[in-house]
Amino acid sequence: MTIPENISDRVNWAIEFAWNITICKIVSEEIKINKEASLQMHYSTILKTVLDLIKFSPKDRVEIELETTVNIEGKFYIIDILLTYTNGILSEKHSIELKCYKKFSSSGGKRGANDIFMKDVYLDIYYSELYLQYQFANYATCLILTDYLNFINPKSKKTKNWNYDISQGHSFNGGHFTTSIGGKEVDFKLRKMYEFNWQKSGNYWGTILRPKVAENVL
């Protein structure tokens, strides 16, 4: 295992490594999750441990903050996890958004609103682009976890929620999204390219989303 020397790359590495550990612990039922709040709690705890382990100099500093509120043109947004780090020379920030959908709730009932979840995945991507655009973060990552196979390998894509396609291998180069879901109006633009590359572990699928190319001007 090779850990990058550059602190930005090290933080990227830690985000992915902690994500993989978290999924392994969920699959083995060492930790239990229900909604995003429990995933955020467990993941942030593991991430902090990994970040502490990759500080290789007295000048290295990494801070982790949950539920950070930022004001963008008069509207408030909440960053799930915000990492602030420095090596004494370079100082940067990395935002992390998490999404989790389980087929069954903790009460055992079947969970619906899968169309809202798909739209919300795209909204998290949009928020991440805003954090970059308005310089609340230098880098952004979206982490998604589900045990719902139809998201990954759908039998059909005829319904309107598939305008927010999150299936295996789907890629898109930005776009203007206006398809309403759950009776709520939607209107936002994405400017970067993304690809859904789901990795299966036990009965779960996880993916990491980061922009693949420079901005696509719409």
Model confidence pLDDT, tens digit, residues 95-143: 999 999 998 766 666 776 889 999 999 999 999 999 999 999 999 999 9
179 burial class (0-12, 13-18, 19+ CB within 10 angstroms)? Answer: middle
Q: Which of 49-53, 130-134, 139-143, 208-212 has the lowest mean pLDDT?
A: 208-212
62 burial class (0-12, 13-18, 19+ CB within 10 angstroms)? Answer: buried
Average pLDDT of the chain, as a whole number: 91
CA–CA separation, 62 and 74 (whole Å): 29
pLDDT-derived band of residue 66, with 50, 70 and 90 as boundaries?
very high
Kindly state the percentage of the chain with pLDDT values over 90: 77
Residue 67 has pLDDT above 80, yes or no: yes
CA–CA separation, 99 and 35 (whole Å): 8
* Sequence-separated contacts (24+) of 83-89 with Cβ below 8 Å: 83/11, 83/15, 83/51, 85/7, 85/11, 85/51, 85/60, 85/61, 86/7, 86/59, 86/60, 86/61, 87/7, 87/57, 87/59, 87/60, 88/57, 88/59, 88/60, 89/59
* Torsion, Cα of 86, 88, 89, 95 (10° steps): 10
pTM > 0.85: yes or no:
yes
Residue 212 has pLDDT above 80, yes or no: no
Residue 89 has pLDDT above 60, yes or no: yes
Question: What backbone torsions phi and psi does residue 138 show, to the nearest 5 degrees?
Answer: -90, -25
Higher pLDDT, 110 or 17: 17
